[in-house]
Structure 1
Amino acid sequence: MTSSPRTGAARPDGRHSRWEQHRLARRRELVEAAIKAIRHHGATIGMDEIAAEAGTSKTVIYRHLGDRLGLYLAVCEAVDSLIIKDFSKALESSVDRDSLDALRRDPREALVAVIDSYLSLVERDPELYRFVTRRPLLDVPVEQDPVTGLSDTIATTLAALFEGPVAESGHDATAALTWAHGLVGFVRESADRWLVDPDRLPREAVVHQLADFAAYGLTGVLAKDS
């Protein structure tokens, strides 16, 4: 920091600002290279392959991203942003936030949209999905676990959407958050199993199966089909 000769007030050091911008840009480039390498080499990729994809050395990657855990967290941050973006688009396309009448009558349409947005990522980027969900042993508090954090973000958004209809139906409104977390876990576990099934059904079929169960429950589904 330097001072103005007239006022003595501190002013930002332009060199520091430019270096910070360069550092952030370089970090983004390395994360993008890591994602590209994961897609090409698979979820068990090593740092050598990532460095080769980035056209640099492991030392540079360590300098900007830290160790393998730092790389993992940086990739998770980028993937989480993609998932949240797709998730938000899916909700906006299926639910009018100013009028939730359709959701109150039948939540299935919204469920189809959000479940499909999740399974679309799994289908489109299976190795990247495996890399994120097969996380290493994290020496961080549970609230800083990126997978847990993503689940919490999605569940909180769904709970806010469900809260009004749940209360209007006569149920305790706090159940909305419990059910939203349950839905996230239900879909994620189903997606994991679907991904490794060599004879897996088409995505659309699985999406509708999950949406039916989530919207109506086992009793509702059996009654509906009888």
Structure 2
Amino acid sequence: MRGERSRRDRRDSRWDEHRRARREQLVDATIAAVGRHGAGVGMEEIATAAGTSKTVVYRHFADRTELHVAVCARVAASLTARLRESIDSTSEPRQMVANAVETYLAFLEGDPELYRFVVQAPDRPAGQGPGDADPIANLSHLVGDQAAALVAVTLEQAGRDPAAAPPWGHGLVGLIRSAADWWLQADRPMPRAELTAHLTDLAWAGLSGVVSRNEEEDP
């Protein structure tokens, strides 16, 4: 009895691993199809890129939204890893801000169709909550956490209480995302380096101004 249960558990484990691997392959295929056909890629084109049928795709993902969220998770993991690396490459707070802005904009410019695919949420089935309306919100939240960590470092280095880091960090992400979306939609009217400099100046002026004011208020 125990041996039979053990064999069944091993079979279940192998099947779970197969499903995880197949889902990852379908995410890879989706990203490839976006690169080939653009952000408006259809499920038929995704299935073709995967060398399979839509029926098989739907066997692993309940609908387009679930596949879309899986792609968002892949993109979020990649971007947050790049952000951590860029922030950790310097100990100077202003340069951390510049590096983070540059990394985010480089991601957009490097693959604008993938970014458009991620931010363009598919039609949702009736009954899904408003929290599912913007899958990029999960990405923005993760990036906001990275920005909050950066702000916390700045405050700690200034001898300040880092309690304000989360709202400031997430506010910075909102600023950068809005400007980046405009830049992409306007067909990049200025070089990336120039936009990076503008956003860094704006973000740092606010952050350093608050830190300086707090220092002046000390008795």
**Structure 2-normalised TM-score?**
0.83
Of 36-45 and 195-204, more deviation after overlay is shown by 195-204
Question: CA 1:12–1:162 in 2, change beyond 3 Å: closer, same or farther?
Answer: farther
- Give the secondary-structure state (helix, strand or coil) at the position aligned to 1:174: helix
The whole-number CA distance in structure 1 between the counterparts of 2:119 and 2:76 is 11
- What amino acid does structure 2 have at the position aligned with 1:54? A
Counterpart pick for 2:194 among 205, 212, 215: 205
Q: Is 1:3 the counterpart of 2:2 in the alignment?
A: yes
Q: 1:149 to 1:114 in 2, by over 3 A?
A: same
> Does the CA contact (< 8 Å) of 2:150 and 2:169 recur in 1?
no
Q: For the residues of structure 1 that align with 2:59 and 2:159, how far apart are their CA atoms?
A: 55
CA contact (8 A) 2:147 2:172 kept: no
Q: Which has the higher helix share?
A: 2
Alignment-derived partner of residue 166 in structure 1: 155
What displacement does 1:12 show?
5.5
Counterparts of 1:165 and 1:61 in 2: how far apart (Å)? 46
Q: 1:57 aligns with which of 44, 53, 56?
A: 53
Determine which of 33, 37, 52 is the counterpart of 2:33. Answer: 37
SS in 2 for 1:178: helix
2:145 aligned residue: 156
Contact 2:143–2:173 (CA under 8 A) maintained in structure 1:
yes
**Equivalent of 1:115 in 81, 98, 101:** 101
CA RMSD across the alignment:
2.6
2:40 aligns to what SS in structure 1? coil
Number of equivalences:
205
Cα contact 2:121–2:134 (8 A) shared by 1: no
Stretches of structure 2 lacking an aligned partner (at least 5 in a row): 210-219
CA distance in 2, matches of 1:144, 1:81: 20
- CA deviation string 1:77-132 (max 9, x = no partner): 1111111111111111123xxxxxx32xxxx2111101111111100110110011
CA distance in 2, matches of 1:143, 1:55: 29
The Cα shift of 1:143 comes to 8.0
User: Structure 1 vs Structure 2: percent identity of aligned residues?
Assistant: 41
Seen in structure 2, the aligned counterparts of structure 1 residues 17 and 53 have a Cα distance that, compared at 3 Å, is: same
Greater CA deviation, 172-181 or 32-41?
A: 172-181
Query: Aligned partners of 1:17, 1:144: CA distance in 2, in Å?
Result: 33
CA distance in 2, matches of 1:79, 1:200: 25
Aligned counterparts of 1:144 and 1:179: Cα–Cα separation in 2:
24
Unpaired segments of 5 or more residues in structure 1? 96-101, 221-226
Q: What are the Cα deviations for residues 204-224 of structure 1, in whole angstroms up to 9, with x where unaligned? A: 111111101110149x8xxxx
Q: Deviations over 1:31-85 (max 9, x none)?
A: 1001000111011111111111111100000011221111111111111111111
